[in-house]
Amino acid sequence: MKERRVRAPAWWPAPRPGPPWWHGQDEDVGSGGGPGARSAAGGHAGVGEPSAPAGHRLPWPSTVLLTALVLVGTHAAAQGQRGGARAALDPFALVLLLLACAALLWRRRHPVAVVFTTAAVVMVYLGAGYPYGPVFLTVALACFGAVVTGHRRAAWAAAAMLWAGHVVLAHWLYRLLPPTGDSAAPWGQEAVVAAWVATVVAVSELAGVRREQWARERAERAQAARRRADEERLRMARELHDVLAHSISVINVQAGVGLALLDSDPEQARTALTTIKSASKEALGEVRQVLEGLRTPGEAPRAPAPGLDRLPELVAQAADAGLTVEVEGTPPKLPPGADLAAFRIVQEALTNVVRHSGSRQARIRISSGGGVLRLRIDDDGPSTGADAGGSGNGLAGMRERAAALGGTIEAGRRVDGGFRVLAVLPLRAPPAEGTREPRASHGPPEEER
Residue 448 pLDDT: 40
From CA 344, how far away is CA 76, in angstroms rounded? 81
Taking the model in full, what pTM does it have?
Answer: 0.46
Number of domains forming the structure of the chain: 2
Find out whether 31 and 108 touch, Cβ atoms under 8 Å.
yes
Check which CATH number belongs to the domain holding 322 and give it. Answer: 3.30.565.10
Q: Is the same domain home to 200 and 321?
A: no
pLDDT tens readout for residues 143-183: 998 988 889 899 989 999 988 988 888 887 777 777 666 66
DSSP structure class, residue 357: B
Residue 430 lies in a domain: yes
Find out whether 37 and 48 touch, Cβ atoms under 8 Å.
yes
Residue 344 lies in a domain: yes
From CA 415, how far away is CA 444, in angstroms rounded? 8
Residue 250 lies in a domain: no
Residue 251 pLDDT: 80
Residue 104 pLDDT: 95
Pick the residue with more confidence: 100 or 331?
A: 100
Whether 406 shows a pLDDT value over 60: the answer reads yes
From CA 79, how far away is CA 432, in angstroms rounded? 67
From CA 128, how far away is CA 333, in angstroms rounded? 87
DSSP structure class, residue 56: S
Q: Is the same domain home to 192 and 328?
A: no
Beta strands in 246-352 (DSSP E): 324-328
Q: Is the same domain home to 32 and 133?
A: yes
Residue 4 lies in a domain: no
Contacts of 174 (CB under 8 A, 6+ apart): 182, 183, 184, 185
Residue 351 lies in a domain: yes
Pick the residue with more confidence: 82 or 6?
A: 82
Mean pLDDT over 389-409 rounds to: 78
From CA 35, how far away is CA 411, in angstroms rounded? 49
99: pLDDT confidence band, cut at 50, 70 and 90? very high
Q: Is the same domain home to 174 and 27?
A: yes
Residue 369 lies in a domain: yes
29-33, 97-101, 189-193, 338-342: range with lowest mean pLDDT: 29-33
Rounded to the nearest 5°, which phi and psi values hold at 431?
Answer: -65, 160
Q: Is the same domain home to 195 and 77?
A: yes
Q: Is the same domain home to 197 and 336?
A: no
Q: Is the dihedral of CA 24, 29, 32, 37 positive or negative?
A: negative
Q: Does the N-terminal peptide bond of residue 20 adopt cis geometry, omega within 30 degrees of 0?
A: no
Residue 406 lies in a domain: yes
Find out whether 32 and 21 touch, Cβ atoms under 8 Å.
no
User: At which of 201, 223, 245 does a domain end?
Assistant: 223
H-state helical runs in 296-335: 311-320
Find out whether 407 and 426 touch, Cβ atoms under 8 Å.
yes
Residue 189 lies in a domain: yes
Contacts of 158 (CB under 8 A, 6+ apart): 115, 116, 118, 119, 139, 142, 143, 146
Whether 299 shows a pLDDT value over 80: the answer reads no
User: At which of 164, 189, 223 does a domain end?
Assistant: 223
Contacts of 183 (CB under 8 A, 6+ apart): 174
Query: What is the average pLDDT value for the chain, to the nearest integer?
Result: 77
| Range of the structural domain that residue 34 is part of | 20-223
From CA 341, how far away is CA 399, in angstroms rounded? 10
373: pLDDT confidence band, cut at 50, 70 and 90? very high
User: At which of 172, 205, 223 does a domain end?
Assistant: 223
